[in-house]
């Protein structure tokens, strides 16, 4: 696979999502995103306003996680949080589905949830990403979620929050890509911490990588671009 360092960096949604992050750390995070040319600064919804100001006049997007990391809030709550994040300056929205309803096979609920959040994003020209949290789902459930995404058309489907017991797998990325290709992008997130793993995710079809290990991945690339 031939990819330049600049192209690789531009695939990263560089994440800082822990509860204990300080305002000073957000400053450093945004500075890193700007200097490295990452696609997005991935944060929770509260610091969106601060990070949007820090990244003004920069091509780096501010991305807000919604109902993160559990997804266990109502559709109305998720829509309201989405709207507030967009008002504060979010360029991208990553929301967590209601896994309980997915495991119950309540696909009407999942479709309604996805449709309402994607519609708000589309109305404001904001990129939408749907987090499945695959570690809790069967392959059949992941397939059904992807089929719903093909109908609703979010910009991306995403493997994981990174807060579950496991993250992205090559098998899941390949499955998701095989269903949504040409309609949605695929974002691999969770435990993508080195260049060999990242390269496998890209080869499987991921066009965005959610990670807090962006610098480690780039260091691995610098050491051996063709691992």
Which of 13, 91, 94, 172 does the annotation list as catalytic? 94
Q: Could you confirm whether 23 is annotated as catalytic? A: no
Token code pair at residue 94: 């990553």
Side-chain-facing half-sphere of 219: CA atoms under 13 Å? 6
* Burial (CB count <10 Å: 0-12, 13-18, 19+), residue 4: exposed
Q: How far apart are alpha carbons 39 and 1 in whole angstroms?
A: 20
Please state, as a whole number, how many other Cβ atoms lie within 10 Å of the Cβ of residue 188: 31
Q: How far apart are alpha carbons 37 and 46 in whole angstroms?
A: 23
Which of 52, 187, 199, 200 does the annotation list as catalytic? 187
Q: Could you confirm whether 28 is annotated as catalytic? A: no
Q: Could you confirm whether 158 is annotated as catalytic? A: yes
Which of 78, 158, 199, 200 does the annotation list as catalytic? 158
Contact 58, 32 (CB under 8 A): no
Alpha-carbon separation of residue 54 from 46, 62, 221 (angstroms): 14, 10, 28
Active site residues: 94, 158, 187
């Amino acid at each position: 696979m031939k990819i330049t360092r600049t192209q690789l960096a531009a695939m990263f949604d560089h994440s800082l999502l822990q509860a204990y992050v300080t305002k000073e750390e957000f400053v450093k995070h945004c500075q890193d995103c700007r200097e490295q040319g990452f696609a997005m600064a991935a944060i929770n919804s509260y610091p969106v306003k601060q990070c949007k100001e820090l990244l003004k006049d920069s091509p780096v997007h501010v991305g807000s996680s919604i109902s993160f990391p559990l997804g266990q809030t109502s559709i109305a709550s998720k829509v309201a949080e989405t709207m507030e994040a967009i008002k504060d300056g979010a360029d991208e929205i990553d929301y967590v589905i209601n896994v309980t309803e997915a495991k119950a096979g309540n696909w009407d609920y999942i479709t309604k949830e996805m449709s309402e959040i994607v519609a708000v994003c589309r109305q404001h020209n904001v990129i939408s990403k749907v987090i499945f949290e695959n570690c809790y789902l069967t392959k059949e459930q992941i397939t059904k979620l992807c089929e719903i995404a093909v109908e609703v058309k979010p910009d991306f489907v995403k493997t994981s929050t990174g807060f579950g017991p496991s993250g992205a797998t090559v098998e899941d990325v390949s499955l998701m890509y095989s269903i949504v290709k040409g309609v949605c992008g695929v974002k691999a997130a969770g435990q993508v911490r080195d260049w060999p793993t990242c390269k496998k995710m890209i080869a499987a079809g991921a066009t965005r990588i959610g990670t807090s290990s962006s610098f480690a991945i780039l260091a691995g690339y610098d050491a051996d671009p063709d691992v």
